Structure 1
Amino acid sequence: MHSAPAQASRLPPAPASHRDTWTMLLALTTAFALSQSWRSVAALMAAPLQSDFGLSPQALGLFAGAFHFAFGAMQLFMGIGIDLHGVRRTVLTAFPVAIAGSAVSAMAGSYGMLVVGQVLIGIGCAPAFLVCTVFIARNMRAERFAAISGITLGLGGIGMLLTSTPLAWLIEASSWRMGFWVLGAMAALSWLLIWALVHEPAPAEHNIHPKESVRQALAGFGALFTLPHTLGIMLLACVGYASFIALRGLWLGPLLMERHGFSLVQSGNVALVMSLASLFGPPLFGWLDPGPLHRRRWITGLTLLLAALFAAFAMTHNTVIDVVGPVVIGLLSGFMVLQYADVRAAYPAAMTGRAMAVFTMAIFLGVAAVQWFTGLVASVAASNGAEPYTAVLAAIGLLLALGALAFIALPQPPRGGN
């Protein structure tokens, strides 16, 4: 008597409409936007944190890098989670850890607890952008991948707007602790939005192949590193986005306040304009994507241009250049969307999700390493009587140039792809 309903319950759900697909992507993007907010708080919290905890530039770099280290280190596990359990379950399971980390940071009574909070936030945010790229790859046309990823990156960048002038006002009106409380509350709303709106077939319903074990999934990730072109891709990934985040997420506020006497809100205004510029970069470069034949040439040229801008930025102490330079860098940073398209084209379709996870891991481990390294550079420069920001910006420019060299000098992927 119950056989018909039981059979109906086992039928796969109807494919999502175009409108539903975009609704789900926008819901997932809210978590990505919050991760953007958390990863860039150090730029405006640096001064009050240094005051409260007596932090050196090197300790400040470790604080800012802790989020990115945890974020990057968890990418392989999040990729496995997506493969085995799907986009929805992975992000809904992980994101509460970020909310808890924000509360830990807000209540931190010591530097060590502050770093623990950042690590928890990084773990919870680890799938935030990866779920978006995998969702796009699975549900959108291949030739639209760069453009739609660019739109998603741009929308996610709205999270950085929260950590510019609004966060500066909030810190001045209350404290840096309130910033963490507010971001945690917004993340809880994002979790509810994803829970209510994002639905996808269970892996068994759209995949006729047996489910992999965790060991098999890890072996699949290892296969990526046997391909000769992976190294050049990953080395550039380690420094490209890291250059933007190191400036926007850590050094911009202290630089403007110490070099030019800007107030916290004035520094926040510059960060706001830089963040606005960064919103337009990914959609712009997604639209300008030259395709697989010329894409890698564009990536190399734009990386070298960014390196030259950081070098020029380092050598001048002009107020106009120090305000306009970050805005231009924010716009150019959007070419990262071309790197995601390059990764998609460089590996077989069966490896796309894992390649995206490893690439994202390289990006954010690179961010952590660059923030720690620039903190060390700043400390060494200051101890030798040099202006620390000149040394930091020059070091970032050098890292970008070395990344571009590795990208073009090491083996290239086979021709083909989208």
Structure 2
Amino acid sequence: MLLALAMGFTLSQAFRTVAAIMGPPLVAQLQLSPQQLGLWAASFHFSFGVMQLVMGVSIDLLGVRRTILWAFPMAVIGAMVSANAPSFGWLMLGQVLIGTGCAPAFLVCTVFIGRYFPADRFTATSGLIMSISGLGVLATATPLAWLIEVSNWRWGYGVLAVASALAWAGMWWLVREPARPAPPADAPPPPSPLKAMLQLLSLFKEPWTLGLVAYAAVAYAGFITLRGLWLGPLLIERHGFSLVQSGNVALAMTLGSMVSPAIFGRLDPGGARRIRWLLGFALVAATVLAAMALLHHAALDVALAIAYGMLSGYGVLQYGYVRDAYPEHMRGRALSLFTMAMFLGIALMQWVTGLAASLAKSAGVEPFTAALLTMAAMVAAGAIAFWKLPRARLPE
């Protein structure tokens, strides 16, 4: 049952990262500007992030099975709309539908593990599901690039639509939730989406929440915006790579990003030292992005992209910080807020970098230089905000 749910999450990861390889042919056929390209990529993450609260409440009310079976068909429909999109507007509609349909894909996996697996297996099982989902990111590297080169970008969406329909059928067939004990008669009802939002906002009474949100909004966003949006166009337009060659670089970057979280998780120093690691690695990440923006050397851009993938796992340290910064009764809400900040931050960074690239192009400046410098500035700004704003007092 869990593997069937993991297939939905794997497709969600694929949809999240198609833009880097699908972007160049989209620009060529639909005449998209860099701003439109960024807005298109951002719309998935915006709808995904906004729907997290709604899907969380739905899981509480309807359960894992009904939530994913009701939501995921929107991803199938969105992929079909995108595959047949005659214009930018239809492409945007498809992305919003896909993001909405994929919104519960990770939540249902974690809730299922938490409810039906022993507590001592939660971390290991969650890690296994994250590793399996990485197959979706790998699929949008060389395999997607090859498919588009031998056909066109519409086939890419068509294959993802078919795969999503098969994943939905697998979940319908295999996922059966075990009976859960009835809640006590005096148990409070699950919160409405509005009440859940108010509970999240109450976290800002803690002075360190704002710094956490500022950091969470840019840490993962830097990796996804590079790997999932600008990497392919940069290698093709700046250095003359073919789509498959760009896919190979994306594949290597993805493999590094799949290993990185486990390494950082094992090396996590905890306490106040973890905060220094978060600050230091964010500044290293910003430096890598700035170097890619300014140096314009093909081998160096490839090496720095792969290095960024291997570095990207530093974001996993935030989970330990959230756990230590909030008392147990607030951790669930804190993790929800962290997740929303992370995905809405991706949407913001992709939109802002698209805008920066468009303005740079109209001013005669290379758009990728502007996009990467904007990314570097946003990652550095998030780290500086985390440093200067109040932080949780943790032991050394």
TM-score (ref. length: structure 1): 0.87
Q: Which of 219, 241, 245 is the aligned partner of 1:262?
A: 241
Q: Name the CA shift for 1:408/1:318 in 2 (closer, same or farther; >3 Å).
A: same
- Find out whether 1:153 has 2:130 as its counterpart: yes
Q: Distance in 1 between matches of 2:113 and 2:389?
A: 29
Tell me the secondary structure at the aligned position of residue 224 of structure 1.
helix
**Is this contact kept in 2: 1:145–1:341, CA < 8 A?**
no
Q: Which of 315, 321, 343 is the aligned partner of 1:336?
A: 315
- Find out whether 1:357 has 2:336 as its counterpart: yes
Q: Which of 175, 200, 217 is the aligned partner of 1:221?
A: 200
Map 1:272-287 onto structure 2 (within 5 A): 272-287=251-266
Q: Residues 326-373 of structure 1: CA distance to partner in whole angstroms, max 9, x if unpaired? A: 111111112222223332333333443333222211111111111111
Matched residue type, 1:174: S
Q: Distance in 2 between matches of 1:345 and 1:142?
A: 19
Q: Which of 287, 291, 297 is the aligned partner of 2:270?
A: 291
Structure 1 residue 199: Cα displacement: 4.2
Which stretch has the larger CA shift, 266-275 or 355-364?
Answer: 355-364
Q: Which of 370, 389, 392 is the aligned partner of 1:391?
A: 370
Q: Residues 165-212 of structure 1: CA distance to partner in whole angstroms, max 9, x if unpaired? A: 111111111111111111122122222333444444566636772322
Map 1:18-33 onto structure 2 (within 5 A): 24=2, 26-33=3-10
Structure 1 residue 139: Cα displacement: 5.8
User: Which ranges of structure 1 fall in alignment gaps of 5 or more residues?
Assistant: 1-22
- Find out whether 1:407 has 2:377 as its counterpart: no
- Find out whether 1:234 has 2:244 as its counterpart: no
Give the equivalent residue in structure 2 for 1:18: none
Structure 1 residue 137: Cα displacement: 5.0
Q: Distance in 2 between matches of 1:287 and 1:28?
A: 27
Structure 1 residue 86: Cα displacement: 3.3
Tell me the secondary structure at the aligned position of residue 105 of structure 2.
coil
Map 1:61-100 onto structure 2 (within 5 A): 61-100=38-77
Which stretch has the larger CA shift, 338-347 or 248-257?
Answer: 338-347
TM-align CA RMSD:
2.4
Q: Distance in 2 between matches of 1:272 and 1:227?
A: 41
User: Which ranges of structure 2 fall in alignment gaps of 5 or more residues?
Assistant: none
Q: Which of 352, 358, 368 is the aligned partner of 1:373?
A: 352
Structure 1 residue 147: Cα displacement: 5.9
- Find out whether 1:184 has 2:161 as its counterpart: yes
Give the equivalent residue in structure 1 for 2:224: 245
Give the equivalent residue in structure 2 for 1:173: 150
Pairs aligned (count): 393
Q: Name the CA shift for 1:357/1:134 in 2 (closer, same or farther; >3 Å).
A: farther
Q: Distance in 2 between matches of 1:298 and 1:171?
A: 40
Q: Distance in 2 between matches of 1:110 and 1:39?
A: 20
TM-score (ref. length: structure 2): 0.91
Give the equivalent residue in structure 2 for 1:210: 188
Q: Residues 268-308 of structure 1: CA distance to partner in whole angstroms, max 9, x if unpaired? A: 11111111111111222222233345333222222111111
Q: Which of 18, 21, 35 is the aligned partner of 1:41?
A: 18
**Is this contact kept in 1: 2:57–2:190, CA < 8 A?**
no
**Is this contact kept in 2: 1:281–1:335, CA < 8 A?**
yes
Give the equivalent residue in structure 2 for 1:114: 91
